[in-house]
């Protein structure tokens, strides 16, 4: 009776190779596009199509009074509203309305309080954005490592398509195929979650811009 398992394994390896190429194309093109001339730079692992921008520049989001040296955490009213405004689960419209209400209730101390609120928002959201970027860089490094591992496992099947290795048992070949399928599944699941996460730094940046605009409007 003809044993169809070798042909099945070869077909599985071919399919795996095709899936690997499709799954890594986007990641690797993004890494190459974002990579700086220095190949040792951590930015080489940036996995998103968006241009990598590190910490935000204060001048890019704020044209109001200086926030240098403001101890905003020492003011409980300010610290409380900063925590509320920075939370992305709070709709932006609600956050903007909260700023207006805060400004209207502060009387003569309005300017000082609002500038402190912005100082807290700038620090909090900038730090949060940096944490997300660091996570994406770690993600990119892991995906590169996993892609290299998968390619290495695919190397023998690609080089030996149409024949079986005389040094490998059928059980060994099945184990390689199972491991390869598992790695591909992990790679694909990670890849599918990438789109939303890559948008997160921009969403944080947009929130900071919008809230800064409302704060400055209330300073006028």
In this predicted model, what pLDDT tens digit does every residue of 128-171 receive, in sequence order? 999 999 999 998 888 777 777 777 766 655 554 444 555 555 55
Burial 110-122 (b: 16+ CB within 10 A, else e): eeebbbbbbbbbb
In DSSP notation, 189-209 reads HHHHTHHHHHHHHHHHHHHHH
pTM of the model: 0.69
What are the tens digits of pLDDT across the range 172-203? 556 666 666 666 666 666 666 677 889 999 99
* pLDDT in the model for residue 144: 78
């Amino acid at each position: 009776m003809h044993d169809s398992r070798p042909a099945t394994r070869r077909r599985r390896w071919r399919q795996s190779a095709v899936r690997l190429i499709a799954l890594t194309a986007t990641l690797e093109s993004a890494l190459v596009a974002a990579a700086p001339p220095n190949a040792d730079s951590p930015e080489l692992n940036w996995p998103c199509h968006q241009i990598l921008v590190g910490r935000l520049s204060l001048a890019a989001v704020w044209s109001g009074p200086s926030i240098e040296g403001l101890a905003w955490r020492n003011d409980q009213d300010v610290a409380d509203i900063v925590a509320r405004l920075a939370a992305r689960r709070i709709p932006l419209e609600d956050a903007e309305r909260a700023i207006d209400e805060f400004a209207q209730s502060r009387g003569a101390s309005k300017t000082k309080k609002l500038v402190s609120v912005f100082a807290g928002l700038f620090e909090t959201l900038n730090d949060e954005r940096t944490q997300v970027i660091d996570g994406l860089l770690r993600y990119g490094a892991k995906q590169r490592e996993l892609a290299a591992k998968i390619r290495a496992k695919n190397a023998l099947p690609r080089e030996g398509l149409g024949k079986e290795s005389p040094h490998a048992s059928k059980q060994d070949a099945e184990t390689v195929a199972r491991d390869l399928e598992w790695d591909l599944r992990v790679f694909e699941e990670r890849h599918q979650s990438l789109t939303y996460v890559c948008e997160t730094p921009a969403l944080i940046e947009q929130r900071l811009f919008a809230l800064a605009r409302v704060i400055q409007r209330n300073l006028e």
